[in-house]
Amino acid sequence: MAAIADTAAPAESAVAYFEGEATAPEWLEKAAGQVEAFVAASDEVLTVVVTSGGTMVPLERRTVRFVDNFSTGTRGSRSAEAFLAAGYRVVFLHRAGSKRPYLSQMSMEALFDADGPGALVETGDGSLLVPNESPVVACVRARRAAKASGMLLEIPFVTVEDYLWLLRRVAQCVESLGARAMMYLAAAVSDYYVPTAAMPEHKIQSSAEALVLELEPVPKMLGALHAEWAPAALVVSFKLETDAALVEAKARRAIAKYGVNLVVANRLDNRNELVHVVHADASRPVVDVSPGAPGEPIEIQLVQTLKAEHEAFVRNS
């Protein structure tokens, strides 16, 4: 059902995309102002920009149908929690509605249900109580502390074009931090999209026949990110594969092609048990990372591994 057309244009570079017809989202400069204020307050602390969740590819201007990438934002939100615990300041760029730091471990349903470990308890005077043994309490306090101390800034995006504009602008904002900034690109970014100019205004009408969609490659951001927008930052990208045989080879290819510093490679089916950290220096062995203890999120060990790399990167820069 899927075919690569042999007549299509090659992938546009991100630089060409921004010089072309695309226009910035209205909210971009407001978000950039928030990041600039965040960066200005950063002192000598390490800062990470975490991207998280999937990007949406609208098929119509008034969006009814869209193509999406599977991502709940679990990797990104848990990583943000681990970075905060490791002392980082975190800019969390996330798909609107995907998981967010400390909000992801509990569901509204668990609170609302009449029983269960997180359930709200009737007090008898009309209010409801989260008992101090509930796991919700620690999450609420951790989230409030991260917000109140200014260690966490969250900015949402929806479409892949929103994401492209936001990533570039935020990279430019953190460039003043030099090597102390890490770009941690955990978002599941669409590979193909329909440029706004090529979209129909209204809902595509249904018919009794097949629907043929032709999508263009999304402009490649990684090369421009490293080469132009944040050349001093440590860039960590992700490679998700379902095919075990391709995981490391794809990571090496991304390093060779885009000049990223580290690639976190994993398979879809065991991504919470095993990830591979591949270094740009091919003489460095691949580091396999697993959870530090049964039930502990793998992101805690992953962030420890990356923090050690980041500290060495800062010393060597």
Residue 290 is encoded by which pair of tokens?
Answer: 């697993």
Minimum CB separation from a second copy for residue 124, in Å? 11
Q: How far is CA 173 from CA 1, 67, 229, 261, in A?
A: 42, 30, 9, 19
193: region left, alpha or beta (phi > 0 left; psi from -120 to 50 alpha): beta
Minimum CB separation from a second copy for residue 240, in Å? 7
Cβ atoms of 246 and 267 within 8 Å: the answer is no
Rounded CA Rg of the chain: 21
Helix (H, G, I), strand (E, B) or coil at 154: strand
User: What b/e readout covers 77-114, taking b as 16+ CB neighbours within 10 angstroms?
Assistant: bbbbbbbbebebbbbbbbbeebbbbbebbbeeebeeee
- CA atoms within 13 Å, Cβ hemisphere of 313: 24
Residue closer to a second copy (CB basis): 51 or 301? 51
Residue closer to a second copy (CB basis): 266 or 301? 266
Minimum CB separation from a second copy for residue 136, in Å? 7
Minimum CB separation from a second copy for residue 201, in Å? 8
Residue closer to a second copy (CB basis): 17 or 313? 17
Residue closer to a second copy (CB basis): 267 or 307? 267
Minimum CB separation from a second copy for residue 287, in Å? 24
Distance between CA atoms of residues 219 and 228, nearest Å: 15
Distance between CA atoms of residues 142 and 131, nearest Å: 16
Residue closer to a second copy (CB basis): 148 or 293? 148
Residue closer to a second copy (CB basis): 222 or 234? 222
Minimum CB separation from a second copy for residue 291, in Å? 22
- Phi and psi, residue 269, nearest 5°: -80, -15
Distance between CA atoms of residues 210 and 34, nearest Å: 46
Residue closer to a second copy (CB basis): 14 or 240? 240
Residue among 245, 222, 243 nearest 233 (CA): 222
